Structure 1
Amino acid sequence: MTTSRLPPAVFTLKQFLQRQKVLGLYRSMLKTIRQVPDDADRKYLRNWAREEFQRNKNASNQDAIRMMITQANMHLDDLRKSLALAKS
């Protein structure tokens, strides 16, 4: 029997859209981390991102989730800027 990757609870439209935003942010972060040239740094950042998203996966407060999304976007922007500077 296959297990579903869908959550057991039914989401409202707002929750569903927010979940999609979080998953997209996670994918973008992992895709950006793949561009880090040093293997040890890449592994550290990948583990850090995974742990942060895992730690907050059961968050339900909408305001807290919005704040975490904003913080994650800022981290992603900083990482992209650092990579751009390293390539220059």
Structure 2
Amino acid sequence: MAASRLPPATMTLKQFMRRQQVLLLYRKILRAIKQIPSDSDRKYLQDWAREEFKRNKNATEEDAIRMMITQGNMQLKELERTLALAKS
């Protein structure tokens, strides 16, 4: 039987909200990566993003998770700035 994607029933509201933040960040990063014109660069960054999120999926310390979300948002903004410059 396949593992369920539903959060465990014992998840607190804070944990649920943090999980939602992580999923939203992941989706935003993948959407931004789709705008990269070079196939090889796009593939590299998709693989990098997936690996980073996979590597950190079992993190439980709130401060570490908060730091990773902040760092991910900064990297997303930098990618978006780079893409905007490339288009202009």
TM-score, normalising length from structure 1? Answer: 0.94
What code does the residue aligned with 1:81 have? R
Separation (CA, whole Å) in 2 of partners of 1:3 and 1:52: 21
Q: How does 1:1-88 map to 2 (within 5 A)?
A: 3-8=3-8, 10-88=10-88
Structure 2 unpaired stretches of 5+: none
Alpha-carbon distance in structure 1 between the residues aligned to 2:2 and 2:51: 26
- The count of aligned residue pairs is 88
Matches of 1:13 and 1:22, distance apart in 2: 14
The separation in 2 between residues aligned to 1:9 and 1:51, in whole angstroms, is: 27
- Unaligned 5+ residue runs, structure 1? none
Identity between Structure 1 and Structure 2 (%): 67
Q: Letter of the aligned partner of 1:66 in structure 2?
A: R
Deviation at 1:5, TM superposition (A): 1.2
Root mean square deviation, CA, Å: 1.3
